[in-house]
Chains A and B, each alone.
Chain A
Amino acid sequence: MNNRVVITGLGVVAPNGTNVPDFLEAIQNGVSGIKQFPEYEELKFNCQVGGVPDFEWDLLRNYITETSLYGLKSKGIAYGIKAALDAWTDAGNEIVGEQPLWDSGCVFGSSVADTDVIKNAITRVDAHESKKLGSRVVEQIMNSGVTAYISGRLGLANKIINNSAACATGTQSIFMGYEYIKYGMAKRMLVGSCEFVDKYVFGGFDSMRVLSRKYNDEPERASRPMSASAGGFVPGSGAGALVLEDMEYALARGAKIYGEVLGGSTNSGGQRNGGSMTAPSSKGVVRCIQDAMADAGITPDAIDLVCGHLTATIADKMEIQNWVTALGRTGDDFPVVNSLKSMVGHSLSAAGSIETVAAVLQLKYNFAHPNLNLEDPMPEILDAIGENNLPTTKLDRQINTVAKANFGFGDVNACLILSKFN
């Protein structure tokens, strides 16, 4: 079986827009969602900026029942619920039906369960007050909390899977959903990922010295993918979601179609050949991108836009080199490249899904969003692909095919090939 898989719904909660229309406007205009956090200075973090969605908690009343909302504390789950349900309704579906939807499933990713919820549990237990924890703690500290909330609200009854692959999580979730539909195991998959980077997770990365620290007073300049003056990434939070659907199923119900998932791949470099816990092996990355193109049945020349992982560390130049090797294209012949992280930071597990939502919007509306703060591209990147493919303002151009990839700790890779629907 080889079903075609189309994208029929989008939802997003990002630092520069908490719904699709606002997010679209923000990425077209290069609006940064990075802000300074005085608390981080007090905590003696090297990096004192971050990307946090301007999230209205009260809006959740329109998404889940009042009893479910009462006691919900996890921000990651909250972002996930909103993005997922927005995608579901954007695809023209209703929120509540009486019957389980046996043909519709969910793959939603996350990396760390909400540590504020965990902290509350730790504090209570250590104070010998475990009996006061109540019934709502476990569902919010279990990693599958977000999928449990989403699938329960919508009655999704096919595969319900919470996946985790560090910064490759979101892209991998989408790929998994695509495969289930492609091979006939489901008709519809609600896919995506969420992340809330609180101070405890933030501190871990800060201590690794991989975060931006030179632009604490100029937060909007702090996330600088591919820039020679980049000194690390800016942590971000949010969620992204897509409804993937069997093409025949979508056409039969007259659904609006944003585009098609032509193919993809997820693999690992095996933490060999230069790959490690924290660094991707180039061999693995190149293979992942090439496998994705093979799965999509396209040649490298078809790709118009590369939406990279590109976090704003020294690994960016290696990533560009890997794309060059995988596509066999260089200089002006290379596709346009951008990194959404220049506007929203790096939202870890959520990065892949938020960035894929951005990729689908660029595909649908024919533009490449700007790379913010790319005044000084790394010389190695200029040598490899020149500067014409690195837009710093919105580039209006026919975009037919996009390659989207993310790479995560553990040397895990995921790549998607998205195209216009024909």
Chain B
Amino acid sequence: MDRKEILNELKKVLVPYTEDKAMLDGITEQTDLIKDLKINSANLVDIIIDAESQYNIEIDFDAAEKMYNVGNCIDVIAEKINKTV
């Protein structure tokens, strides 16, 4: 799965957690989850849980801390997917 495919999948994961669907449609790797998408910081754990089940991976504490913008999320997910493959 390339970065673009992961981004498209990630969009689906983020849908329930942001009110700003227009912003979500136009996300790039630089989009910040909290500042740009206005996601409640407490919900980041829900996004991690959903991503774990979506990609069948495990995201540990250290990796989770890096997931504050879309690019970081893709980094973490891509790395974990490659490990499982």
Partner of A66, one of B16, B42, B46: B16
Please indicate the chain A residues that have their CB under 8 angstroms from the CB of B43 in the complex.
67, 135
- Taking CB atoms and an 8 Å cut-off, the chain B residues in 24-64 that contact chain A are 40, 42-43, 45-46, 49
Q: Are B49 and A136 in contact (CB under 8 A)?
A: no
Q: Which residue of A lies closest to B59 (CB)?
A: A131
Q: Are B45 and A67 in contact (CB under 8 A)?
A: no
Q: Are A67 and B49 in contact (CB under 8 A)?
A: no
Asked if B17 lies at the interface with its beta carbon under 8 angstroms from chain A, I say: yes
Q: Which residue of A lies closest to B42 (CB)?
A: A135
Asked if A253 lies at the interface with its beta carbon under 8 angstroms from chain B, I say: no
Asked if A134 lies at the interface with its beta carbon under 8 angstroms from chain B, I say: yes
Interface size on B, residues (CB 8 A): 10
CA of A11 to CA of B17, assembled, Å: 29
Interface majority SS on B: helix, strand, loop or mixed?
helix
The 8 A CB mask of A63-86 against B (1 = contact, 0 = none) is 001110011000000000000000
Asked if B69 lies at the interface with its beta carbon under 8 angstroms from chain A, I say: no
Q: Which residue of B lies closest to A138 (CB)?
A: B42
Q: Are B46 and A71 in contact (CB under 8 A)?
A: yes
Once A131-B49, A132-B49, A134-B49 are accepted as A-B contacts, the answer to whether A67 and B18 lie under 8 Å apart by CB is yes
CA of A135 to CA of B19, assembled, Å: 17
Please indicate the chain B residues that have their CB under 8 angstroms from the CB of A65 in the complex.
19
Q: Are A135 and B46 in contact (CB under 8 A)?
A: yes
- Taking CB atoms and an 8 Å cut-off, the chain B residues in 4-30 that contact chain A are 16-19
Q: Are B16 and A134 in contact (CB under 8 A)?
A: no
Partner of B16, one of A70, A132, A135: A70
Please indicate the chain B residues that have their CB under 8 angstroms from the CB of A131 in the complex.
49
7 nearest interchain CB pairs?
A: A70-B16, A135-B42, A134-B46, A135-B45, A135-B46, A134-B49, A135-B43
Task: Give 23 pairs: A residue, B residue, CB < 8 Å, sorted on A.
Answer: A65-B19, A66-B16, A66-B19, A67-B16, A67-B17, A67-B18, A67-B19, A67-B40, A67-B43, A70-B17, A71-B16, A71-B46, A131-B49, A132-B49, A134-B45, A134-B46, A134-B49, A135-B40, A135-B42, A135-B43, A135-B45, A135-B46, A136-B46
